[in-house]
Chains A and B, each alone.
Chain A
Amino acid sequence: MSEIVLVKIKRRENPQSAPYWETFELPNKPFANVISVLQDIQRNPVNIGGVRVKPVVWDCNCLEEVCGSCTMVINGRVRQACAALIDSLEKPVTLEPMSKFPAVRDLQVDRSRMFRDLQQAHAWIDIDGTHDIGEGPVIDQDTRHKAYELSQCMTCGCCLESCPQYTLDNNFLGPAVFSQARYFNMHPTGAMHKDKRLEPLIKEGGIANCGNAQNCAAVCPKHIPLTESIAEIGRQTTFYLLKKLFTE
């Protein structure tokens, strides 16, 4: 374990101001991660030049890689800051905000587009009501196993940051949404409204815009088989288009 840690952080005051780099030097501690280093900076916000500065602003919540908040680019790779242990990182550690979402401040970005896109993709099960009408559908273990792999998507944005097709100003829905559409289409009740999920995916910004770079699956912190989801949605949309062709 090294005694001290150098951390270089790409900062900005607000979306209009220019970004700049600032370096901090901190004592290393057992089990330290990127979050605990940022917390140490809050307790003593002094940069390497000895200048007192404003504490760094970032997003985090659960700190155990299930909430998806603390995504940032660490040493050039997009990932969750809470799971980035200092001892396993090359030094100096560089922290940057994601680049595919509008900047807010320092390491904070605005990912609300991801949640809006889930609305577009009809990412829910349509139920008759919450009153007690008995048991849900019987589901076999294999289907459940497959569904569980997909259902762990935390909307963290890693896949989109790494995707060459997803940009700040286009309308590409991206792998997370494709995979969620597949997830709901797999459920016995969800499958009844399959077409509502496939319709937005055949439009501009849908599955046809995927360039098949396959970066998404490589960076997903939950190891969701995103490329498999893309292939499956490709298949489902092809059938859907054919069906449309013959029924309309």
Chain B
Amino acid sequence: MMKRKAKVVVVGGGLAGLSAAMKICEAGVRVVLVSHQPVKRSHSVCAQGGINAAIDSKGEGDSPEVHFYDTVKGGDFLANQPLVHDMCNQAPAIIHLMDRLGVAFNRTAEGHLEFRRFGGTLYSRTAFAGATTGQQLLYALDEQVRRYEHDGLVEKLEWHEYLGVVLDESQVCRGGVFHDLRTGAIFTIAADAVILATGGPGQLYGKSTGSAVCTGSAAAATYLQGAKYGNGEFIQIHPTAIPGQDKLRLMSESARGEGGRIWVPKDAKDKRGPKDIPESDRYYFLEENYPLFGNLVPRDVASREIYEVVYNKKLGVGGEAMVYLDLTHKSPEFLDDRLGGILDIYEKFTGDNPKNTPMKIFPAVHYSMGGLWTDYESDGSGNGLIDHQSPKNQMTSIRGLYAVGEVDYQYHGANRLGANSLLSCIYTGIMMGPGVANYTKNLDKAPEDIPSSLFDQARNKWESRFKEIKSMHGKENPYSLHNELGETLLANVLIVRENEKLEATLSKIDEIETRFGDLHCLDTSDWANPTPSFVNQLHNMIHLARIITKGALLRNECRGAHYKPEFEIVQPAEFDPHEYIDYLEKKSYEEVREEAFPPGHLEYMKKFEDNNNKWLKSSIAVYNDNQPEISYEDVDASQVTPRPRKYN
């Protein structure tokens, strides 16, 4: 008898989905690749600045260990350390692989890979291809997957949407339910395993730096079927974006990595053009407040500083919520070579040339550190590395269902460092490949042995759901209701969070859910009709909004991107994070005396420690009775001791 070939469904064709597909094909397993659109158009193309790997090509003394420390510190110590450690260790090999795949990385004079600086580190660790690194990496993986498609190992189902998983009576994933976005047909695919690589939820906020497909709908649909969702409240606000009606376009952190400076006029009433304002009348607030990291503080810090300057000090340019990002001191040739793509975007969408005039930018919703809860297995060495053969890696709380990329909750803790997302997507896709292949080898039942009634039930459920959606004849326009949800979250669940407002937001979400019942499905035709699909996505977005808002309401502390002034523990100005390590050591063998540290420091450290004991935990949301039920899970901090962050 011929040995049957295992089959894995990968949903999503961004960096994570494509690298997983490539690695799984390499193990000889067939892949069905499902995507909303041709995979080459996935949101990963929007990533601009680069991808991190501590190759230390400039002899600065960088190493994967330093990369690891910067990453967990940047994430305010909320990430499970073995995964981050393993990722940073694998990063150089990943860059070399992408280079071998033909990515047009910038080069040095000797023809080696060029690196630049990014936020949250003092080293040149970021490899880049102009300012379109995400696009270039995605294309290289797309090409490899096309090669497997050519060889018959990959079947692509583009213009298809994932609706949910097919679960058997023991809650094991046996396949998925899919929606053909052209014909409207709903069908199931039986598979050995399903991988969700469906990206982030930027559309939840209406306007973000996310693409149109980044609704978070797939993750939410899976949560509604019982999967755990982790760290939902941690939403990264990117400090520098360009205004727009349809989206807020990103202005990469690489603009600052290449020397861009952020400032506002010292006098809010200054009417002069930016080039006419002399240095002495400019307030370079990041450089003044953070002399060590300057314009390259992590994103959570930079966004909060901009918020402070614009809303509390009322120093926004022209009285608006905007600050200058200035590159005009750099030569046009340098800027073309290193930042070409993004400066073109700015000029195209605003009409101003950033080579001659400072850009006007402001913070925008950018990335979700949270996502579907996923598992991992340490390699047992005690070195905080991962067993790459384990089927547990990246498995969600549903057996046989995996999550990878922005849709999973690992790697970035409470705040992601720039140029680490491309790395985490590719690393994870590649790392999980062998484990998924092993999972398919040891399955108790092949998909063919599962009763077809299981799949029929799942299909019937979704067919009636779409029939129901199409029969909605109420008053509310789904696109307008989505707008309202976005505006609510933008106003209340952003950079600065207050419990009163978060509570009001939960009530507002309830109201939106009620009005969802009175929706009008504007288009009921069968052919290429995006409206019913959008209505279903909106339903899922409402639930995801609840996870994020409730998580934020319950977490009474400040950590990374989650900032609640009411619970801020103010760090003494002269504090050195090493004091905290001293304190912990002293505490282990004696009573620590007040005089052992500068005045006020011990009190601060005790507060910090108490807070960590209570809150250094991942929040886990589980769907119960139409609400997210939130519990907390310990974080693996086995490699470096969590301590106060400091960037000045």
Contacts and interface: CB of A to CB of B under 8 A. Distances in A.
A66 B100 contact: no
Contacts of B479: 39, 42-43, 55
A21 interface: no
A183 to B, nearest CB: 8
Interface in A117-166: 118-119, 123-127, 129-130, 132-141, 144-145, 147-148, 151-152, 154-155
B378 interface: no
B99 interface: yes
A105 B182 CA distance: 9
Nearest to B100: A136
A64 B37 contact: no
Interface stretch (B238-246, B455-463, B503-511, B552-560): B238-246
Contacts of B112: 135, 138
Nearest to B97: A130
Contacts of A68: 40-41
Interface stretch (B135-143, B185-193, B580-588): B135-143
Contact of A14 (B37, B245, B528): B528
A44 B350 CA distance: 27
B143 A125 contact: yes
Interface size class of A (residues with CB under 8 A): 35 or more
Contacts of B140: 125
A10 interface: no
A204 interface: no
Contact of A54 (B341, B477, B525): B525
Interface in B235-267: 243-247, 249-250
Given A43-B479, A123-B146, A144-B107, A130 B23 contact: yes
B45 A67 contact: yes
Contacts of A43: 477, 479-480, 483
Contact of B99 (A60, A67, A136, A145): A136
B245 A141 contact: no
Contacts of A44: 477, 480
Interface in B202-229: 211-213
Interface string B12-28: 00000000001100100
A30 to B, nearest CB: 7
Interface stretch (A184-192, A207-215, A225-233, A240-248): A184-192
A96 interface: no
A82 B242 CA distance: 14
Nearest to A64: B249
A83 interface: yes
B111 A139 contact: yes
A108 B37 CA distance: 12
B578 interface: no
Contact of B245 (A32, A42, A126): A32
Contact of A66 (B45, B96, B110, B150): B45
Interface in B517-532: 522-523, 525, 527-531
Contacts of A66: 45-46, 132, 135, 341
A124 B132 contact: no
Given A62-B43, A112-B158, A125-B100, A139 B107 contact: yes
A134 B349 CA distance: 41
B96 A135 contact: yes
Contact of B26 (A55, A64, A129): A129
Interface in B388-444: 430
A13 interface: yes
Interface of A: 13-14, 29-33, 35-36, 39, 42-45, 54-55, 57, 59-69, 82-83, 85, 104-105, 108, 111-112, 115, 118-119, 123-127, 129-130, 132-141, 144-145, 147-148, 151-152, 154-155, 184, 187, 189-190
* The 10 nearest A-B residue pairs measured at CB: A136-B99, A36-B245, A124-B143, A138-B111, A132-B93, A105-B528, A36-B246, A148-B104, A67-B41, A136-B100
20 contacts: A30-B243, A33-B245, A43-B477, A44-B477, A54-B531, A55-B522, A55-B531, A57-B530, A63-B249, A66-B135, A67-B46, A104-B182, A108-B528, A119-B146, A124-B143, A130-B26, A134-B96, A139-B107, A152-B132, A154-B41
Given A62-B46, A67-B45, A126-B147, 19 more contacts: A14-B528, A32-B245, A36-B244, A42-B479, A43-B477, A44-B477, A55-B523, A55-B531, A61-B42, A62-B45, A64-B345, A66-B46, A66-B135, A67-B40, A69-B41, A130-B22, A136-B96, A138-B110, A155-B38
